[in-house]
Amino acid sequence: MSGQKPVKPSADGLLASARAIKSKGPAPVHLWNPPFNGDIDMRIARDGTWFYQGTPINRPAMVRLFSSILKREEDRYYLVTPVEKVGIRVDDAPFVAVDVEAAGQARDQVLTFTTHVGDSAVAGADNPIRMAQDPATGEPAPYVHIRAGLEALIDRKSFYRLMDLGAVEDGWFGLWSSGSFFPLMTVEELERG
């Protein structure tokens, strides 16, 4: 051993490291591969609320900072700095898409999503839209890829707006964005309501 004592990861330590990075937007976590320091008691709820040790983090700037160092590897989520990597829990998707802007129409339509932490992504081949089913309620659960394997659950009001922008292609109801068609449900499923 080097004589150094292992340091227990903490939200304060991660916050200090994230602040030191000084980047606008997400940090280049894909370039960092520090050692795994264990799990931290941090969780992102399905509604996008971040919790630390069971208590909601109510400071939006702090949540944005943590979200900028979020990384997904396979089915696990981590907060990563150049020197440490800690596991966190994510109930569903780490982000919630709270707004969508549509430009153009039909095949020329471009959909731009904004998340609750201020990230934005243009839906297209690199940022697909997909539909799943909420396992608890059976309701449709739409998602859009935001960055580097991280998705946003599309909130209800945005989903209803998207339904008005949808089109039918080859028996599927879906959305066009940036030249790509994203099938959401069959026409039969849509008609069943």
Residue type (1 letter), 79: L
8-state DSSP, 170: T
- Over residues 14-31, the pLDDT tens digits come to 666 666 555 566 888 888
Three-class secondary structure of residue 160 per DSSP: helix
pLDDT(1) > 50: no
Higher pLDDT, 28 or 123: 123
pLDDT at 8: 63
Q: What single letter denotes the amino acid at residue 71?
A: K
Tracing tokens 């983090």 back to the chain, one arrives at: 57
Give 77-110 pLDDT, tens digit per residue. 999 999 899 999 999 999 999 999 999 999 999 9
In this prediction, residues 54-70 reach a mean pLDDT of 94
- For residue 6, pLDDT over 60 is answered with no
Distance in angstroms (rounded) separating the CA atoms of residues 153 and 85: 25
